[in-house]
Structure 1
Amino acid sequence: MTTAPGRWQGSRASSQPLASQVGLEILRQGGNAADAAVGVAAALNVTEPCSTGIGGDCFCLFYHAGKKQVLGLNASGRCPAGLNINVLAEQGITDKLPWFSPHAITVPGAAAGWVDTVEKFGSGKLDLGQILQPAIELAEYGFPVHPVAAHHWQVGAPLLTNPKNRFGYEMLLNGKPPKAGEIMKMPNLARTFRELATQGKNGFYSGRIANAIVDIVKEHGGLMTLDDLSSHYNTFDDPICVNYKGINVWEIPPNGQGITALLALNLLKGYDWNGIEHNSTQYLHTLIEAMRISFADSSWYVADPEQVNIPIKELLSNRYANERRQLIKSDRATVSVEKGKPFNCSDTVYFATADNEGNACSFINSNYMGFGTGIIPEGCGFTLQNRGSNFSLEKDHPNILAPRKRPYHTIIPGMATCASSGDLYASFGVMGGFMQPQGHVQVMLNMIDFDMNPQQALDAARFCVGSGHKGSAGGVNLEKGLPCDTRDNLADMGHDVSDLIEGHGRALFGRGQIILRKEDGNGCRTWWAGSDPRADGLAIGY
């Protein structure tokens, strides 16, 4: 999808058509890319709560066209102050924090993130109430559930129908997950949005909603308190980047895993793909090896920078990339990779927006695994995330669970600019657990090295090292659309490869959105947007 020059206002790409339309409506009202992003985040909470919600976290990269600058927001929450590994050990939890444990609930950062995005990056022409109003109406009056969302709602339904989840009915239709085409209403979520709109952060982190969160977490055995909620704050972090063949690719720094994509790009910029066929055996082998090496580093070094010193500069240095690149063998797989020493001496939703001033917003919001824990605070209409399950319980690990600490985070927005001019190249992202940095690398190379347009870059078949929630552990999953002989050749090289995955199983490979900025040399700007076919999404311009 492209927007024509002239009276264009902007572009919007998300995983859900109604949410994309909400973004355009906000642009029509005078909002900018950041305002539209928050409106879409709220609309996706309504239409795709099996992937995202106000009970989760969000991250944002904002391209300020006037300053030619990329700005970052980390709106991820922290571990409750009363929780530590000793408390878990007393409960017999010593190896891995269970995915759906109440202890996996970290303070939701998304509500504060929406407020901060509007206040810091917004146009100033619309208030939060105006921005949230379309989502409030969708929740209150109802919306038709789309097919992919209906499928994942069904998959996550056991969490909502569990008898221990007393308020699961708030996100069900007559006690069941809604089917495609059925009209779903979420009045309690509309009420939550109204309180955030009228009271700001206090409307979520204190009062009725905060009390409901604390009550339900305690009911399930968790330790979150009102003080944990009221003391939450987000950070405006300087994004990190690498120059890949003339394009600066930007990511949020740790505790997000965006550095994984940058580590891989640093390795891959040492290769010349001229004459190499896209998704050929040699191409995929090299990318798979680069991702394994990058995950080996990020799975150790990514942690909360407020509590751990992370050697970002050293990890992203050319010296370190040259050293780690030597691990890639052209003829065989290296299945097990250890973390390096970079020191010189020793199911989630992603969407992108762009506006008529040339600004762009890359925004991602998630519960982590589908509905997260599936636990719903009474009368609130949203589930609480299970992001804390990404903490390590190893005593010497940088990402060890600790009070008031942010965990390793999988959700990452992406932004790319032209290294020579600072102009925007693209706002992009691929959602889906540990697939996300892999998706970032694959779609960026599709556009930069193989000259694909955004839709082609998203349509192309992908690989995923490991499963969606296990990082680089396990084999290599391959999507239908790749040549069968490529799969067989990779197996011969020592890769543990899957059969080609199709249907709803393709969700493993993430769902991305891209908005590319194009100019014709005469001052006419065009937004060229694409939306992933693995979702219900829509790229649309106005």
Structure 2
Amino acid sequence: MRYLLTLLLLCAAPAYAADRITGRDFATRSEVIAPHAMAATSHPLATQIALDVMKQGGSAVDAAIAANAALGLMEPTGNGVGGDLFAIVWDPKTKKLYGYNGSGRSPKSLTLDYFQKQGLTDIPPLGPLPVSVPGAVDGWFALHDRFGKAPMKDVLAPAIRYAREGHPVAETIAYYWGRSVPRLSKYPGFSEQFTVGGRAPRTGELWKNPNLADTLQKISDGGRDAFYKGDIARTIDAYFKANGGFLSYEDLAAHHGEWVEPVSTNYRGYDIWELPPNGQGIAALQMLNVLEGYDFSKIPFGSAEHVHLFVEAKKLAFADRARWYADPAFQPAPVAKLISKAYAQQRRKLISEDKPLREVQPGTPAELDQGDTIYLTTADADGMMVSLIQSNYRGMGSGMAPPGLGFILQDRGEMFVLKPGHPNTFEPGKRPFQTIIPAFITKDGKPFVSFGLMGGAMQPQGHVQMVMNLVDFGMNLQEAGDAPRIQHENDTEPTGQNTAMSDGGVVQLESGFPYETVRGLMDKGHHVEWALGPYGGYQAIRRDPQTGVYFGASESRKDGQAAGY
């Protein structure tokens, strides 16, 4: 009965008329095309801010920071100055990609022994205990110091103005805000700063955050130290001391992000770039290496064979993700071997074309020797392109909102494991496993696409689907994001919060896949389910290498916008 209901739900998708130009059932609109600059974010006002910054002479990095600051106000359900940040930047002067890891570390005074004495087997998802140092503001200034052109006071001015004067809340954001309020209202400072008389703001309702405006103004005037070593840090310190937490002034003052070398694999002539752990980006590279062994010119998009091979490649990569991905300062991963073609060839042998893998072991050292969020991307008239992702983690984060600051601290520390010997075991001053990952594609040494797809474990799966849609299935930038998505769930996690996969997991399909695909997957032995909403949010910019013209795309499932000039 359960399988019959699942099948009926999958086949009860609404009818779509084919796009009048492309003929694709799922196409929503055209790509945005512009000659000078482009921005794609999850909020139209943030996109306009980014464009304004570039029109006034700012770089793509300035535009990305300005948009990110505005999104902390406009989309607090996904990000803010209380969270972490990762970025990949194409610099046209050096013709090179630069990676930045802006993730924060666990409090130095919190120990594994404390959790064990409290009888905890997992770190709570909310409240003071999962809070780690927020790295976003430090990331802004690191990026700006290297690639900024406009003064930071001009970059942050639009977000400050909107925070004081207000902006109308967008539809999707209002929905998720409404879901967060009941869970987070018990935490000190949340209701006072993030509700309207105890409720979430409604769609179209004007929202102001004067406390955040004050915080951003202090950062604008005093730089990154105003956040990590000034009154803001002292307020955070006092707040956690008063509310059973461990994040301290010393933790904030000691914080620093780091520049890292992006890593890549070549997929059918295109170089796909990700950042190394503690993030999960290399899972996308591992999946692509496995999938490169199949000829998708003979395998149609959306067919049972396409979905099956994608899911099996994902299982292999995620088994390694659970075993090897962690803070490299504590547990270095064999990244070069994990993303090698030889390793992919070995792992590919585990895939059957007729039945799914029920359980998957990670690669062994011997074999290897032969982690809610916003994503945005900007591109400027000089050819600089920025791929940036920023997050509070679980929706609006921990719920911990220090008085008078106008933001919520992230709960990324929930991703630690409370078992000694695990790569992601909690340790003081350690960075947790991260799900947020920016991505970039180059071809023949030139920038091709800056893109990302937020959404927890969906992110590497989404990255791979976008690459395949563009490279294997010939879609344009907007079609690649509009196409129905696949998500596989119930693998073993790096957080150790579930048991090892033993039943093959669950294949979730977005509406738009045909009945024949669902039936074919079930015939192979997959457990297929319909799911509403867990497929992430996509933004992308492509650069024509001949003309320099930009093509932009934005997530049709969210409130966002791609725009250029």
Asked if 1:149 is matched to 2:149, the reply is no
Asked if 1:228 is matched to 2:251, the reply is yes
Aligned-pair CA distance for 1:267? 0.8
Aligned-pair CA distance for 1:467? 6.8
Aligned-pair CA distance for 1:375? 1.1
Aligned-pair CA distance for 1:414? 0.4
Aligned to 1:484: 515
Alignment equivalent of 1:99, drawn from 125, 128, 135: 125
Q: Secondary structure at the match of 1:236?
A: strand
Aligned to 1:393: 418
Distance 1:334 1:117 in 2: 43
Asked if 1:171 is matched to 2:202, the reply is no
Alignment equivalent of 1:515, drawn from 522, 530, 541: 541
**One-letter amino acid matched to 2:407:** F
Aligned-pair CA distance for 1:322? 0.7
Aligned to 1:158: 182
Aligned to 2:387: 362
Aligned to 2:155: 131
Aligned to 1:431: 454
Distance 1:358 1:443 in 2: 22
Aligned-pair CA distance for 1:266? 1.1
Aligned to 2:397: 372
**One-letter amino acid matched to 1:489:** G
Q: Secondary structure at the match of 2:441?
A: strand
Aligned to 2:103: 76
Distance 1:330 1:265 in 2: 17
The unaligned stretches of length 5 or more in structure 1 are none
Higher mean C-alpha displacement, 465-474 vs 289-298:
465-474
Q: Secondary structure at the match of 1:181?
A: coil
Aligned to 1:12: 39
The unaligned stretches of length 5 or more in structure 2 are 1-30, 495-499
Distance 1:203 1:278 in 2: 51
Higher mean C-alpha displacement, 69-78 vs 336-345:
336-345
Distance 1:117 1:469 in 2: 35
Distance 1:324 1:272 in 2: 17
Aligned-pair CA distance for 1:314? 1.1
Q: What's the % identity of the aligned pairs?
A: 40
**Change over 3 Å in CA distance of 1:89–1:294 after alignment to 2:** same
**One-letter amino acid matched to 2:377:** A
Alignment equivalent of 1:403, drawn from 410, 419, 428: 428
Distance 1:387 1:457 in 2: 30
8 Å Cα contact 1:432/1:468 also seen in 2: no
Q: Secondary structure at the match of 1:103?
A: coil
**Change over 3 Å in CA distance of 1:468–1:309 after alignment to 2:** closer
Alignment equivalent of 2:338, drawn from 275, 298, 315: 315
8 Å Cα contact 1:9/1:28 also seen in 2: no
Asked if 1:117 is matched to 2:117, the reply is no
**Change over 3 Å in CA distance of 1:468–1:335 after alignment to 2:** closer
Distance 2:388 2:382 in 1: 18
8 Å Cα contact 2:392/2:409 also seen in 1: yes
**Change over 3 Å in CA distance of 1:486–1:411 after alignment to 2:** same
8 Å Cα contact 1:56/1:366 also seen in 2: yes
Aligned to 2:66: 39
Q: Secondary structure at the match of 1:464?
A: strand
8 Å Cα contact 1:242/1:248 also seen in 2: yes
Alignment equivalent of 1:48, drawn from 75, 78, 102: 75
**One-letter amino acid matched to 2:151:** D
**One-letter amino acid matched to 2:40:** A
Aligned-pair CA distance for 1:291? 0.8
8 Å Cα contact 1:84/1:401 also seen in 2: yes
**One-letter amino acid matched to 1:333:** P
Aligned-pair CA distance for 1:342? 4.9
Asked if 1:331 is matched to 2:354, the reply is yes
Q: Secondary structure at the match of 2:98?
A: strand
Aligned to 1:260: 283
Alignment equivalent of 2:91, drawn from 48, 64, 76: 64
Higher mean C-alpha displacement, 317-326 vs 55-64:
317-326
Distance 2:230 2:54 in 1: 32
Distance 1:431 1:231 in 2: 29
Q: Secondary structure at the match of 2:463?
A: helix
Residues 284-304 of structure 1: per-residue CA shift (max 9 Å, x gap):
100011111111101211111
**One-letter amino acid matched to 1:143:** H
**One-letter amino acid matched to 1:135:** A
**Change over 3 Å in CA distance of 1:342–1:362 after alignment to 2:** farther
Residues 322-367 of structure 1: per-residue CA shift (max 9 Å, x gap):
1111111101111321111254559200011111111100000000
Aligned-pair CA distance for 1:201? 1.4
Asked if 1:26 is matched to 2:53, the reply is yes
Q: Secondary structure at the match of 1:509?
A: coil
8 Å Cα contact 1:367/1:387 also seen in 2: yes
Distance 2:214 2:515 in 1: 51
Aligned-pair CA distance for 1:101? 4.0
8 Å Cα contact 1:254/1:304 also seen in 2: yes
Q: RMSD of the TM alignment (CA)?
A: 1.7
**One-letter amino acid matched to 2:104:** G
Distance 2:480 2:54 in 1: 26
Distance 1:386 1:130 in 2: 30
Aligned to 2:548: 525
Alignment equivalent of 2:269, drawn from 243, 246, 253: 246
Distance 1:387 1:231 in 2: 18
**One-letter amino acid matched to 1:20:** T
Aligned-pair CA distance for 1:84? 2.0
**One-letter amino acid matched to 1:340:** G
**One-letter amino acid matched to 2:136:** A
Distance 2:291 2:369 in 1: 25
Q: Secondary structure at the match of 1:216?
A: helix
8 Å Cα contact 2:115/2:418 also seen in 1: no
Residues 103-137 of structure 1: per-residue CA shift (max 9 Å, x gap):
21000000101111111222x2x111110111111
Aligned-pair CA distance for 1:53? 0.6
Asked if 1:3 is matched to 2:3, the reply is no
Instruction: Please give the TM-score of this superposition, normalised by the length of structure 2.
Output: 0.90
Instruction: Please give the TM-score of this superposition, normalised by the length of structure 1.
Output: 0.94
Distance 1:137 1:308 in 2: 44
Q: Secondary structure at the match of 2:457?
A: helix
Aligned-pair CA distance for 1:455? 0.5
Higher mean C-alpha displacement, 47-56 vs 150-159:
150-159
Aligned-pair CA distance for 1:223? 1.2
8 Å Cα contact 1:515/1:528 also seen in 2: yes
**One-letter amino acid matched to 1:3:** I
Aligned-pair CA distance for 1:394? 2.2
Distance 1:342 1:290 in 2: 20
Mapping 1:404-483, distance limit 5 Å: 404-418=429-443, 421-466=444-489, 474-483=505-514
What is the aligned residue count?
A: 525
Distance 1:281 1:114 in 2: 43
8 Å Cα contact 2:188/2:402 also seen in 1: no
